[in-house]
Structure formats: C-alpha cells, structure tokens
Amino acid sequence: MDKFVINGGAPLKGEVAISGSKNSSLPILAATLLTPERCVIRGVPDLSDTRFMVEIIKHIGAEAEFKDGVVTVEARKIRTIAPYDLVRKMRASVCLLGPLLGRRRKAKVSVPGGCIIGPRPIDIHLKGFRALGADVRIEKGYVIADGKNMAGGTMFLGGRFGSTVLGTANVMMAAAVTKGTTVIESAACEPEVVDLAQFLVKMGAQIHGAGSPTVTIHGVEHLHGAEHTVIPDRIEAGTFMTAAAVTGGHVTLKGARPDHLGAVIDKLLEAGVKVERAGPDMVVRGEGRREPADVITMPYPGFPTDMQAQFMTLMTITPGISVITEKIYPERFMHVAELGRLGANIALEGSSAIVKGMPKLSGAPIMASDLRASAALVLAGLVAHGQTTVNRVYHIDRGYERIDEKLRALGARIERQK
Ligand code: EPZ
C-alpha cells in the first residue's frame, strides 16, 4: 500500500489544472449502456473509480476503451447482471440499475454495501423505479428489477437528508427510454445531475428542468450514440482552494467552474481567504487575517458534504471557534480522530464538530479512511510542522488524479512511497 510522506510548511504557489469530475463521469459512463451505438466521453479523470466503472461496463458486455482521458463505449449487447464482487468495491455501481432497466427492462445489481461515511441506503432509488411501474425486490443481497410494465410516472425523491444524487441519475436514465412522461419532484440539483441530463439529451432524450427540484422526462423509443466532455471536478477544485488557504499560499486554478463553487467560495471568503476571478481562472490567496466560519452541509447549492473534512482542516488552524455540522452523512467524521493526532482541538457533539483553532499542527503518522477525509489529512500534513505520513492513500487515488504530483508542482514537499 502506498503512503504519502509530507514535510509541512511550504506555502503552495503556482497554477493547477483541475481534472474532470469523478461524480459526473460515473453516471455518464453508466448511461452509455442505454444505446448500442458508439459513445465518446472526454475529460474523464484517470482514477481507480473511473477505471473500475469502465471494467464493470465491459463485464456487462460493452466494448470499452479508456485512454488519455477519453472513454469510448459501444454497448451493442449487454447482460443485465452486476455481481456483488464488483459492486461492493464501488457503491456508485448502483447507478447501473437505471440503464439496465431502461435498455433491457430488467436488472440484477448487488445491493451496494455501506461505506465508512455511513450506511448508504438505496430505498429512494427503488421508490423511483417502482413509481415507473417496475417490479423491484431485494433477494440474497441483490436488487432484482423487472421493468416489462414500466411507464412514465410521478415521484418524490426527497428523503431525510435531502434528495439523492445517484437516485435522481438512476431514475432519469431509466425514464429517458420509458414511454410516457415522468416527473421527478425533489430531484437532486447537483451540477453532476445537470451534466448527465445534458449527455442524455445529446443521445436524444427529452429532459427538462435538470438542476431544479422538478425534472420532467418525456420517454423516447431509442437513444443514439453521442460525444460529451464532462464538467470539471468541483470537489477537487474546492480541495485545492482550501489547500492554498491552509498553507497561506497563492494558487491559480485552471479549468474550474466558479459557478459550481458558490457555497465553498462564500465560506472561504468568510474565513478571510482571498478568492478572485482572473478571466476564466480563479486565484486563491491564503495570506491575511483569518476568521472562523461555521458550516452546515446541505444538498446543492448548499455547502457540499464532500468539502466538509477539507474545510475542517482549515478551521483547525484558524483562531477562534467554528461549528461544522454534517447534515448529509451525520457520521462523516472519520478525519476528526486523525486530525486530533496532529494536535487539532475538535469536540464532536452529535452531527456537529466544534473546532477550536490552534496556533499550529505538528506532524505525525496518520491513517486515511474515506476519500475526502484522506484529502483533509493531506491538507493538514501540508501545514503541520515536521513530517506527516498518510497511510492507505489508495483512498485518495479513488477520487483525485495524481494529487501528489499536482501538489509537488505547487511547491509542496510530498512524496509517494510504497
Ligand atoms: C453522491 O453520492 C456522491 N457520489 C457522493 O460523493 C456525495 O457525498 C453524495 O452524492 C452527496 O452529495 C457520487 O456521485 C458517485 P445521495 P450518492 O444519494 O448519490 C441518503 C465522494 O466523496 N439516501 O445523494 O450516493 C444517503 O444516505 C462521494 O465523491 C437515502 O436515505 O448520495 C445520504 O445521507 C461520497 N436513501 C443522503 O441521502 C437513498 O435511496 C444523500 O445521498 C439514497 C440516499
């Protein structure tokens, strides 16, 4: 297993190119199964998760190739089963249900396990498919869906924690080729849902309202092949913006979409970080007086749960008290204990973390746990005095393309070691 060895204290300076969005690529790659014709997806980040999704769609029977950020897929004939030993490795595989139901009118996909940030249920996905008239049951750990009687329907996809991103994606993909009109109320509004809708429309789907809480889909007979470039990764961008802030650096982000980062920019400005637009680029400067800022994670356009851990790292060295409340995954605090090992002062109260800013962190060996918590630990290592070793960095490689190379190019003293 690889680890990162980081010697803290170097302010990040220079330019970083933001890669394509992982969370946009995964459902879009699944959507290529909706047509037997050739699809070309560009700007796909080279991550273990995206490579894995390509492997899964090949296992299902599609021809697929992933080279230099471009995925070419021809799903002429597809099976309808996604087995446990594949799905358990990446719960986002659950978004295969929609395309399989849409294309073959049946699906057998292993129920994804939980993961370290929480139980990850799919009850709202299944509610959506049932509203389309599919017969859905869970047997021996598999979702078994029969869609022969499917027709457009109206459904409400809101849950205790807001809507569901992949649930909205799943229903959109099935409804796109299901006769009749489907109306999704309380749909997820994330940019990744909009990107998927845009790809489906390029394939011939009729979808209106993506990005708003009400999405209307008029089913069509068939979808044809299409080409698409995925949006930049707003969480990678937010992570590098926070890294510039944490290290007191001066970083220009190339290729990020400021319009996808409203809540993150708002909180960084509140924390005293300078964020400016320079034409299409964003410039983040971390020098200057810092203020603590409270955060509550919410569905888009609120503050993203995937940025909660990274922002907490910034607050651990910001004088004052900040309260960070996690409303999407109330247990998403694996990073707290590890940050504590570096000297952070964080008290957990239910789904809130009370962070008391310290003058400094000091380096130590720490353990990565989930994707975004691991990024937060790397950020802490960049500013901690002395050496920090982050173990199990495979978690990070799932969602960040060559993060150590990009950080080193910005002046960070970070080495990957076997
Ligand atoms: C997507 O997961 C992202 N993953 C997650 O990013 C992200 O944290 C999450 O959206 C929230 O923004 C991908 O896009 C691949 P949800 P998703 O369904 O769609 C509950 C990362 O780090 N819920 O929007 O699975 C659920 O438990 C990953 O890149 C139900 O109760 O998330 C959670 O509390 C981590 N029933 C909340 O809703 C359901 O049927 C939001 O989940 C579905 C979800």
8 Å CB contact between 187 and 215: yes
Quick one: which atom of ligand 1 is closest to the CA of 126?
40
Quote the pLDDT of residue 159.
96
Atom of ligand 1 nearest to the CA of 305: 8
CB atoms near residue 322 (< 10 Å): 24
Alpha helices in 216-358 (DSSP H): 234-246, 262-270, 308-316, 334-341
- pTM, full prediction: 0.98
Question: pLDDT > 90: what percent of the chain?
Answer: 93
295-296 vs 321-325, strand pairing mode: parallel
Mutate to test the pocket of ligand 1, among 93, 94, 124, 161 (most ligand atoms within 8 A of CB): 161
CA 39-44-50 angle, 5° bins: 95
Residue 285: helix, strand or coil by DSSP? Answer: strand
Q: What is the mean pLDDT of residues 63-71?
A: 98
DSSP state of 362: B
257-281 per-position pLDDT tens digit:
999 999 999 999 999 999 999 999 9
Write the CB contacts of 215 (distance below 8 Å, at least 6 apart in sequence). Answer: 168, 172, 183, 184, 187, 197, 207, 208, 209
Question: Contact, 139 vs 131, CB < 8 A?
Answer: no
122 Cα–ligand 1 center, Å: 9
When pLDDT is averaged across residues 390-397 and rounded to a whole number, the result is 92
60 CA to middle of ligand 1, Å? 24
Average pLDDT over residues 377-401: 96
> Which helix (DSSP H) or strand (DSSP E) does residue 164 occupy?
none
For residue 249, how far is its CA from the centre of ligand 1 (angstroms)?
32
User: Looking at residues 352-377, what average pLDDT do you find?
Assistant: 95
pLDDT band at 91; cut points 50, 70, 90? confident
Distance CA 222, CA 290 (A): 55
Q: How far is the CA of 276 from the centre of ligand 1 (A)?
A: 30
Q: Which domains are assigned to the chain?
A: 3-18+232-417 (3.65.10.10), 22-229 (3.65.10.10)
Q: Is 115 one of the catalytic residues? A: yes
Q: What is the mean pLDDT of the chain?
A: 96
Q: How far is CA 381 from CA 322, 366, 409, in A?
A: 20, 9, 16
DSSP code, position 232: B
pLDDT number for residue 269: 98
Q: Is 122 in the pocket of ligand 1 (CB under 6 A)?
A: yes
Place of tokens 């490795």: 89
Residue type, 130: R
Q: What is the pLDDT of residue 114?
A: 67
Comparing 62-76, 105-119, 319-333, the range with the smallest average pLDDT is 105-119
Residue 207 has what pLDDT?
98
What was the pLDDT predicted at 370?
86
Tell me, what's the pLDDT at 117? Answer: 82
**Helix/strand/coil percent split, the chain, to 5:** 35, 30, 35
pLDDT above 90 for 234: yes
- Quickly state the pLDDT bin for 57 (edges 50, 70, 90): very high
| Strand ranges in 75-229 using DSSP code E only, listed in sequence order | 81-82, 106-110, 135-139, 142-146, 154-156, 181-185, 206-208, 214-218, 227-229
Give yes or no for residue 161 CB within 6 A of ligand 1. Answer: yes
3-class DSSP state of 82: strand
* Whether the CB of 165 sits within 6 Å of ligand 1: yes
- Retrieve residue 298's tokens: 């919410």
Q: Which atom of ligand 1 is nearest to the CA of 159?
A: 31
